[in-house]
Structure 1
Amino acid sequence: MKAYTIPLSFCALLLLSACSSQPSGPQLLAQSQPVEIATSETQRSTPQPLDEQAFIQHSQQQARTQIAQELVGTYQSQANAGLTTTLVLNADHSAITRYEYQNGDPSLIENGFWQQDDDGNIQVLMTEHDGRNINALRIFTVDGFQLTAEKEIVNGMEYQLGSHGLIVQKMKVETSLVPSDKQATQGLVTALTAANIAGSNQYNAQVDATLRHYFKINRTDPKNNRYRWLTYDLNNDQKPELFVLTDWCGSGGCTVLMFENHNDQWQFNSRITQVHTPIQVTNYHHFGWRDLIIPVSGGGVPAAHHLMSYTGVSYPLNASTAPVTSQSAAVNLFSDNISAAQQGITM
């Protein structure tokens, strides 16, 4: 059987755009690398589109009997190839999938329904994509607060969701929001002692290994990149996160990478662009992670301080698009205002 390589996003949207001459939006339905798609010989043997009405009726019956209510909530993927996927499983067994693009392209929304099968898996059927009809089924395995789908069946055609599948993590339950300087937060956390923490240009083997792993998974050569670093606990677990100030800079600021401390290993969490220093750490939080205040200027953006709130998975990508704030905080990270290009570690 002959096979050829084609991006999943294109395959899926071909089915949606076949009936329309209008150009579609960003051509990406799932975070995926190009995958092997079989020729038409195999495609003829793929299943027919799922019976939507039967699926919806079964989902609504499960909602009435409150089956799998512990799985109700919002799930979100890590950003991959500039895309974040959010899956909302509602108590009435309706479902929403939202695709958010970090390059500023409009988000895409899918609506549908979900149910639990006899094996404990979660079946999610999307019936509407960006205002158009679709029949797209994903079957997620459940592992604690993580859902994983390896493939999807779109209008009867089966596609693999990349080499690792689509993985979404359940976001922590939000507490009631309280006002703070006209901004919504989830309230106060332990007050911080005032501190000015300078960046370091001293080699550290664990920091270097963490950063090299980041370059490896992003298939990028680390050679000649420069950086400064520091550690600070953002989520009150007494284990410091790793901040890396890179020399990836433009007129609007530089890029900062943040790695979460997980079992004493740093794992990539957030990439924040358009950053000037110092970064301030506040006494307010979202999802247990402290809000950050980042100065932004240049690149056509008026000089201001912007409030960065944790989304449940990461901090927002672009500091310049976050809300402007008049708040200030007592803790300053990279307080020396020395850039990585000036005095950074060269990889």
Structure 2
Amino acid sequence: MNSILYLEDGTVFMGEAIGKVGITVGELVFNTSMTGYQEILTDPSYSGQVINMCYPYIGNYGIDHKVNQSDKIQAKGIVVKNRYNNTSHYLSEDSFENFLLRNDIVGISGVDTRSVTKKIRSHGTMKCVICSENESIYEIKELLNSYKYTNLVEEVSTKTVKHIKGSGPKVAVLDFGAKRNIIRNLMNRNCDITIFPYDTKYDNIMDINPDGILLGNGPGNPKDLEKIMPDIKKIITSRIPVFGICLGHQLISLAFGGDTYKMKFGHRGGNHGVYDRDMDKAFITSQNHGYAVKENSLNKKDIVVTHINLNDNTVEGIRHKSLPVFTVQFHPEGCPGPTDTAYLFDKFLKFMTLV
């Protein structure tokens, strides 16, 4: 069945429908990872987005449900060059096509994804529609123009408090859409984990007497979460060790008086170079973010920029000079991507045992 990808600037790409026959609208972004399409699709940080995959072969090693980063596909849609269903991996439990169908995801294949990526790099992220139904261009434009971004964190955050028993330090995780591999990294270090909804009040978090607090990743603009900023400020000044990842990094930076901005096309992929100033060492990292912290907005008397991006020099991590608080913009848990920076979980663990 034929399908079209309609971009906000009026550009149209023709292709073949994959997944659910229907129509979907979202923010069009691109990801440069060569593998990990399943982890990418199930990452809550992609909520509200249509993902254009740069790698030309998607679906060739099938689906292994153990690597899902949440309980469903979070992305609004997917754009691929070539869709493969003849899987050839011993861990594969299902085909890529069935995975999309079971999750009611509209996609399109046969698209020149290189051209789509070049357009996003030139013009920035934009809204788009994938349509495999018999809709007119006028109707598609109307749908695109009426689409508005919502509080995506509220959609992906846990609605109830969850506890994972462990014999180690007590960690409170404030869930903005935390990937499962972040939780797995804490479990692998025997942490006793309590996962809280994103808008949990400071006093309720303190009721468990945590040894550390982790603010994880999530979708959307950090400035949309202004209502929880008073509690974030209490958390970072509590003298309890705090570790921020991705959106957590941005929220902590805002709470310290910094500022954030929307990037032209963001960083999404498993091959981003980052320099750790404290270690005097470079790492290849996994990233997925469309917002960044303004370095000149940070109070250099209190804040040290610990990590920078080797491609564009954007801020990739900070630490406070006197409080046990540190953050990174990238994903130390990988999945997909390198796990070279998993040492940051050990650093968090060390903080909790020292304070």
Range into which the TM-score falls when normalised by the shorter chain? under 0.3
Higher RCO (CA 8 Å, separation ≥ 6 residues): 2
**TM-score, structure 2 normalization:** 0.27
Tell me which structure has the larger Cα radius of gyration.
Answer: 1
